[in-house]
Amino acid sequence: MAEIIKIKVGTASCGLAAGSGDVYDFFKANSKGIPVEGVGCIGHCYAEPMVEVETSEGSIIYREVKADQKSLDNILELGAENRLVIPEKRKQHELLKVTRLAGKIDPISIDEYMANGGYAALRKAQGMTPEEVVDEVKRSGLRGRGGGGFPTGLKWQFLAAKKNADKKILVCNADEGDPGAFMDRSMMESVPHQVLEGMLIGAYATGSDILFIYCRAEYPLAIKHLKIAIEDIKKHQLNVINGKALDIIIKEGAGAFVCGEETALIASLEGRRGTPRFRPPFPTDSGWNGYPTSLNNVETFANIPVLIAEGAEEFAKVGTEKSKGTKLFALAGDLENPGLIEVPMGTTIGQIVFDVGGARPEDVKAVQTGGPSGGCIPKELFDTPVDYDSLNSLGAIMGSGGMIVIGSNRCMVETARYFLDFTHRESCGKCTFCRVGTKRMFETLERIVAGEGVEADIDFLEDIGPKIKKGSLCGLGQTAPNPVLATLRYFKNEFVDHVVDHKCSALACNNLVDIKIDPEKCIKCKLCIKNCPVDAVSADFIIDNSKCTRCNTCIEVCPKDTIHRVEKGEGYYSE
Amino acid sequence: MLEQFSYLKEIDSSRTYLIKGLQTIQGHEGYISDDAILAVAEYFSVPDVEVEGVVSFYAQFKRSKPGKYCISVCDGTACHIKGSTMILDWISTELGIRDGETDAEGLFSIETVACLGCCSLAPVLSINGKVYGKLDRKATIKILKEYRNNG
């Protein structure tokens, strides 16, 4: 039998949430001398808690591992149970470059990172002139991974050109505020050194003096790992660039979506309300406290060591003409295998959703990209390649990489309402079109899902959306109407159903459905009666829809699946 | 500045650290009181209205004392389409409080948050930072009961 060298337990946030902390403790205490190590995320979040066994003959991954002796014995014997088998059709699309080390090494061990080629790119860069490094990044075609898609090399060139500035600032935007996206969290938790190495290379190329990481406070584990990594960097004096020790400062965000916008983020870094301001001046001219500042996303920085190590030409071999390299996506929603994936730019949406994510075509209606700034793309357009320009042309955006699969049983109007609920609350209030316009859009959508919409509401949404986009200063307002406009473009029939027939074909909108027990199948176990919070179920098992709040409690507790949502009017009403 | 907030002195008093100051206070006290706003204003030499302005801007800051167990129900996109509205409903019914409220004993408070970043386990919630995933009604109620029994 192959000899076991090491047991690695995935202990990033999603693993911990699935119970990998207990698995780690149990294995560590009972592994009979075999080293047990906590590692980051390998991306197969659906199979958490996961354990990888490194043996003399390669490694074996186990899925859904429990913190008990049986699971441990199975693993120590390299048993056949619970092995994670990655389907061939997933493997053929995935290309792990940026996430090469994620989940493979101890995230907080600088020695392990270095043993796997870490900081070699920084040394290589320091053997070049700063101009050569900027040029290398430019030639690679790397574009900002935060969603904007601005060429990274060009941004660095602007900052590097400020030769006479007292101080220059480089900021890592780790305020991953897009609900449904977790690429940056995963990278910071799993390979914090790779992100920091990218920043140090950036500091060398641009001549920066202070490095800020602006990270969401909701990511405590990422912050912890970054702090440890920064201490180790200082011990190894890797932060000494051109004979000068750079400050690396972590700033915790305080929960404001608009702070993903660069001028708002800078205001927040200055200790102010995170309101965006007019550009110009651009941050590379006047940013944090007036100093020239460049902001790049976590994933962009994580690309840098890869790019420098292999060279611009090699990097640019992957991807499409205008979108180079690979892209991380946080795949979630209605599919079999949610998780973090890395694929070449230009992979089609269908390949990602069906082949990599394991969704069944008949269960899927659409995919949502770009979060509150993006749009829903219908299944008919799933052969679209994923790159910045193709997605823009569909009225969606690449965004930072959140990709939510929407099942055929979901209501698209309700989904659009959800995003406007989010953006109207997150609008900072500076621009009238954004502040008032998103609120009016939200109120209109609330009325439509409540069954009180009229046909003129659709015209109103189509009219006000483009005006909000034109009348807003920053990315939030300029993109906030997208989820509604894209949905109107591809799923107008669902809007019409709601406002003309007052019907929700997905049976999702509470005001447009009734709840009914199927008397044929009901076994009269009384669980629905006992659990109904408003006593809407009668002693003879009839749900009174005039009392019912559509909370789904009865549907959840019914052991025989006999209670269902039905079209409005099909249920019983006492009054 | 009140003695209660003397731990602020460990932070750099330049304006850029003002949010850090507020976060430190909330970490100690659980919320930002009127006294805390005055203390921060004095320490960072900014008008107290400006501090209030910063506090009210960011979702993280609470102006009233939360319960011993703070339940954050995730309403990110993945959780939303997987039924987070129902989760919130069930918890509200079980505890008799609504989003943003604290119960009479000061044991539980509920808030909805934008995204906890555990989308592949949707729907999720967290209680004092510990994340629970793949929830249905039964699992949700069980978690609440466990916390209640622990007191």
Per-residue pLDDT of A422-459, as tens digits, reads: 999 999 999 999 999 999 999 999 999 999 999 999 99
- Asked which of A50, A85, A120 is the last residue of a domain, the reply is A85
Q: How many residues does chain B have?
A: 151
What is the rounded average pLDDT of the residues A522-526? 96
Chain A CB within 8 Å of residue B49 CB: no
- Asked which of A354, A387, A407 is the last residue of a domain, the reply is A407
Distance between B53 CA and the closest CA of chain A, angstroms: 7
Cα separation of A319 and A145, whole Å? 14
Cβ contact, residue pair B93, A402, below 8 Å: no
Give me the domains of chain B, ranges plus CATH numbers. Answer: 2-57 (no CATH), 69-150 (3.40.30.10)
Q: Is residue A94 part of a domain?
A: no
Q: What is the overall mean pLDDT for chain A?
A: 95
The confidence band for B116, taking pLDDT boundaries of 50, 70 and 90, is confident
A386 and A490: one domain?
no
Chain A CB within 8 Å of residue B132 CB: yes
What is the rounded average pLDDT of the residues A277-281? 95
What is the rounded average pLDDT of the residues A210-219? 94
For chain A, give the percent of residues with pLDDT over 70: 100
Per-residue pLDDT of A32-70, as tens digits, reads: 999 999 999 989 999 999 999 999 999 999 999 999 999
Count CB neighbours of A129 within 10 A: 12
Cβ contact, residue pair B121, A17, below 8 Å: yes
pLDDT at A179: 85
Chain B partners of A331 at a C-beta cutoff of 8 Å? 120
A18 and A133: one domain?
no
With a cut of 80, say whether residue B52 has pLDDT above it. Answer: yes
Question: What is the tally of structural domains in chain A?
Answer: 5
Distance between B77 CA and the closest CA of chain A, angstroms: 5
pLDDT at A425: 94
A285 and A306: one domain?
yes
| CB-closest option in A219, A254, A368 to B77 | A368
pLDDT at A283: 97
CATH label of the domain that carries residue A527: 3.30.70.20
With a cut of 90, say whether residue B119 has pLDDT above it. Answer: no
CATH label of the domain that carries residue A470: 1.20.1440.230
Count how many pairs of residues, chain A against chain B, have C-beta atoms within 8 Å. 155
Chain B partners of A330 at a C-beta cutoff of 8 Å? 119-120
A166 and A266: one domain?
yes
For chain A, give the percent of residues with pLDDT over 90: 94
Q: Look up tokens 């900081």; give the residue.
A: A119
With a cut of 80, say whether residue A1 has pLDDT above it. Answer: no
Main-chain dihedrals φ then ψ at residue A456, nearest 5 degrees: -60, -20
Q: Is residue A438 part of a domain?
A: yes
Per-residue pLDDT of A231-276, as tens digits, reads: 999 999 999 998 999 999 999 999 899 999 999 999 999 999 999 9
The confidence band for A178, taking pLDDT boundaries of 50, 70 and 90, is confident
A178 and A258: one domain?
yes
DSSP string over A273-287: ------SSSPTTTS-
Q: Which helix (H) or strand (E) holds A163?
A: none
Chain A CB within 8 Å of residue B139 CB: no
With a cut of 80, say whether residue A84 has pLDDT above it. Answer: yes
Cα separation of A395 and A381, whole Å? 12
Closest C-alpha among A187, A203, A295 to residue A248: A203
Q: Is residue A575 part of a domain?
A: no
With a cut of 90, say whether residue A217 has pLDDT above it. Answer: no
Chain A CB within 8 Å of residue B100 CB: no
A283 and A341: one domain?
no
Chain B CB within 8 Å of residue A290 CB: no
Cα separation of A427 and A461, whole Å? 18
Residues near B129 by beta carbon (within 8 Å), at least 6 away in sequence: A220
Q: Is residue A54 part of a domain?
A: yes
With a cut of 80, say whether residue B127 has pLDDT above it. Answer: yes
What is the rounded average pLDDT of the residues A537-563? 95
- Domain boundaries, position A199: 110-314
Q: Do residues A95 and A343 touch, judged by C-beta distance below 8 A?
A: yes
Chain A partners of B61 at a C-beta cutoff of 8 Å? 254
A284 and A386: one domain?
no
Cα separation of B129 and A170, whole Å? 30
Mutate to test the interface with A, among B54, B58, B79, B115 (most CBs of A within 10 A): B115
The confidence band for B56, taking pLDDT boundaries of 50, 70 and 90, is very high
Distance between B136 CA and the closest CA of chain A, angstroms: 8
pLDDT at B129: 85
- Asked which of A291, A314, A337 is the last residue of a domain, the reply is A314
Q: Is residue A100 part of a domain?
A: no
Q: Is residue A490 part of a domain?
A: yes
Chain A partners of B78 at a C-beta cutoff of 8 Å? 179-180, 332-333, 338, 404
Chain A CB within 8 Å of residue B66 CB: no
Q: What is the pTM of this model?
A: 0.94
A426 and A370: one domain?
no
Q: What is the overall mean pLDDT for chain B?
A: 94
pLDDT at B114: 84
CATH label of the domain that carries residue A126: 3.40.50.11540
Distance between A170 CA and the closest CA of chain B, angstroms: 16
pLDDT at B115: 84
Chain B CB within 8 Å of residue A338 CB: yes
* Amino acid residing at A555: I
ipTM of the complex: 0.91
Q: Is residue A507 part of a domain?
A: no
User: HSE of A78 in the Cβ direction (CA atoms, 13 Å)?
Assistant: 14
A124 and A226: one domain?
yes
What is the rounded average pLDDT of the residues A167-174? 97
Residues near A552 by beta carbon (within 8 Å), at least 6 away in sequence: B83, B86, B137
Cβ contact, residue pair A218, B117, below 8 Å: yes
Cα separation of A285 and A270, whole Å? 16
A422 and A368: one domain?
no
Chain B CB within 8 Å of residue A357 CB: no
Q: Do residues A451 and A512 touch, judged by C-beta distance below 8 A?
A: yes
| CB-closest option in A13, A17, A46 to B132 | A17
Per-residue pLDDT of A316-345, as tens digits, reads: 999 999 999 999 999 999 999 999 999 999
Q: Is residue A150 part of a domain?
A: yes
Higher pLDDT, A192 or B119: A192
| CA distances to A445, A454, A487, A492, A512 from A460, in Å | 11, 10, 14, 14, 22
Per-residue pLDDT of A392-429, as tens digits, reads: 999 888 889 999 999 999 999 999 999 999 999 999 99
CATH label of the domain that carries residue A66: 3.40.30.10
Q: Is the dihedral of CA A560, A564, A570, A572 positive or negative?
A: positive
| CA distances to A226, A525, B97 from B23, in Å | 18, 51, 26
With a cut of 90, say whether residue A148 has pLDDT above it. Answer: no
Is there a cis peptide before residue B123, judged by omega within 30 degrees of 0?
yes
Per-residue pLDDT of A480-507, as tens digits, reads: 999 999 999 999 999 999 999 999 999 9
A18 and A147: one domain?
no
Chain B CB within 8 Å of residue A563 CB: no
Q: Is A502 left (phi over 0), alpha (psi -120 to 50) or beta?
A: left
pLDDT at B81: 87
A284 and A200: one domain?
yes
| Structure tokens given for B64 | 């009233």
Chain A partners of B75 at a C-beta cutoff of 8 Å? 179
What is the rounded average pLDDT of the residues B94-119? 91
With a cut of 90, say whether residue A147 has pLDDT above it. Answer: no
pLDDT at A359: 96
